[in-house]
Amino acid sequence: MRRMLLAASAASLLGGFALTASPLEAQESEGFQLEIGGFYNALGIVRGQDSPARSLTDAGAGSGQRDKIRRYDFSQYGRFVIEGSQTLDNGMTLGFHTEYEMQDGMANDRAYVFGEGGFGRLQFGTMYSAAYLLHVSPPTAGWGIDDTDHDEAFASINGMGYPASPPYFVNRSMNITYLTPRISGFQAGVTFAPDQQNRENMDNRVATNLSRQTEVGRGGAEIDRDLQNIFGLGINYETSFEELSLAVSAGVETGKWNHGAKESLAGDDKRAWSASSGLYLGFGDLEAGVAYNWTNGGMSSFRQHTLTAGLTYTIDRFTFGPSFGNTWERGSNSDDRSIQIYEFGTTYAFAPGVNLVGSLQHARYDNGDLSSRFDGNGTAGLFGVQLSF
């Protein structure tokens, strides 16, 4: 299960991208062993995509006139990972974990302290929830669709991004998380986060919608900024029978709107829910998986569904296979729009820690209840190198 996103077995290195970092440096200081690692991706993108027609009310726009979407792009993404830990005489491990974005002025991406042993794992800081950490996503042979770090292939014509099956209410907000030890293949976890704003070092001591106070002119509430008292629950099971491997997961996150967000929603606020599940099967060099997410967006008469799937096969140094993702909305309080993305990817293990990765992706945007100018499709190629260190 080498390409599975199972945080139960690698929780210290998860966060939306499977890291396989090995330490570059290790030094002992007052009992702590320090490890430094990370990853770096560099790629080029070529695309052909329908451009959205301009609104007839735009200055200088005539009927059928369209904005231009550039046919090429360069992209990079990487993080440094620093972790320090020490094992006590009783077998318990204490440590800290932190990550820094290379392309974002070395901004801190997540940081937490942890303790683990026979009781399981307890961690405190900015990280995802137990429902995310225990979620099983489909395997991918290319740059990926589900929860990918590279979603630059297409301009979002109808406002929808790449499909992602994990729950995301606790998006590296300050939280406390407990993961049980794995017993007979099962592992479970629970998370509590007081407020989504904690990650942004804002004063969140008052029960209000702080993002509306600090961003003049922004209308409406945001599901990734304005929730409080968020709980996350997750469960994961994995086992293997000779060449056959199996993993399944289920998780849920739920939270309430902050006071200011409730006012902006004008009574349309509901408790926000997001539920996810995943299934993985591996047989020798063949791997397959499927995942699903549902959320009500914290609003009445709104439902959003996401379905993702992937299949990979490995021959010598090559891994290749297709992936699929689909997100769609339903309900009288939604735009009924959707996006489908298809991918065929290939990875070549060029050297230890060096992969050459290529993806061919096709996207289809459905406008739903939006105007027809937000409907279209496109095809893109993503080619580059993936370094793990």
- DSSP class per residue in 38-85: EEEEEEEEEEEEPPPBPPTTSTT--TT-B----SEEEEEEEEEEEEEE
Structure tokens at 177: 């998380």
CATH number for the 7-202+223-388 domain, one of 2.40.110.10, 2.40.160.10, 3.40.630.30, 3.40.50.300? 2.40.160.10
CA-CA distance, 114 to 381, in Å (whole number)? 40
φ and ψ of 376, to 5 deg: 175, -175
Closest CA to 160 of 145, 170, 172, 171: 145
pLDDT score for 107 = 87
Compute the radius of gyration of the chain from its Cα atoms: 22
CA distances 244 to 27, 247, 281, 314, 323, Å, are 39, 10, 7, 15, 21
Length reported for the chain: 389
pLDDT score for 223 = 76
Closest CA to 234 of 367, 155, 132: 132
Cβ count within 10 A of residue 276: 27
Structure tokens at 308: 């993702």
CA-CA distance, 234 to 171, in Å (whole number)? 15
Inter-residue contact 244 to 282 (CB < 8 Å): yes
pLDDT score for 378 = 95
**Alpha helices per DSSP H over the chain:** 7-10, 130-133, 210-214, 259-264
Four-CA torsion 82, 148, 218, 157, nearest 10 degrees: 160
Inter-residue contact 147 to 128 (CB < 8 Å): no
CA distances 310 to 102, 160, 358, 384, Å, are 29, 21, 15, 21
pTM for this model (two decimals) = 0.85
Residue numbers in the chain where pLDDT is lower than 50? 1-28, 56-64, 207-218
Give the amino acid at 322.
Answer: P
Closest CA to 341 of 149, 164, 141, 168: 164
Q: Which residues contact 352 (CB under 8 A, 6 or more apart)?
A: none
CA-CA distance, 3 to 7, in Å (whole number)? 12
Match 């499977």 to its residue by tokens: 18
